Amino acid sequence: MKIRKRNTIQRRIVEEAVVAIHSHATPEEIYAYVSADHPNVSKATVYRNLKELSESGKITRIPTPNGADHYDHKNYPHYHVRCEKCGKVFDVDMPYMYHLVDNISNKHGFKINGYDLVFSGVCPECQANKIV
């Protein structure tokens, strides 16, 4: 019972960090945030809880090609754009196309549960910073 309680507390700490950081953080950034307040929480614990929280739908894992995973406190479907220069991930402000999933399942008989769409580009900050 003791272990179970500790696990619950650690999971809450990790979940709160994702919400507090608020910007599609990588596991490395989330770990840095957590360990500032809770130095006793290990990196493995943070990674394990991120995995479990995303599997249970509390947070969203954003796998990005050629980069680390990012975690999003928003748990509803939306699109992202990743900056090619700094690697940060931003939300894209456009409606989620649910009908894409219907089209695919109709034509191929596959049961589709969702999809990831990550645009790539250069963020305003990196555009302004021309030296890079």
126 binds Zn ion (CB under 5 A): yes
Sign of the CA dihedral 96, 98, 99, 105? positive
Question: 91 or 102, CB closer to Zn ion?
Answer: 91
Binding residues with Zn ion: total (CB under 5 A): 8
Query: Least separation, in Å, of the C-beta of 117 and Zn ion?
Result: 12
Is the backbone of residue 127 left (phi > 0), alpha (psi -120 to 50) or beta? alpha
Determine which residue in the list 17, 18, 30, 123 makes contact with Zn ion, applying CB under 5 A: 123
91-96: Cβ within 8 A, 24+ apart = 91/24, 92/119
Q: Which of residues 51-110 bind Zn ion (CB under 5 A)?
A: 72, 74, 83, 85-86, 91
CA distance 56 to 1: 22
Query: Can you give the binding site for Zn ion, defined by CB under 5 A?
Result: 72, 74, 83, 85-86, 91, 123, 126
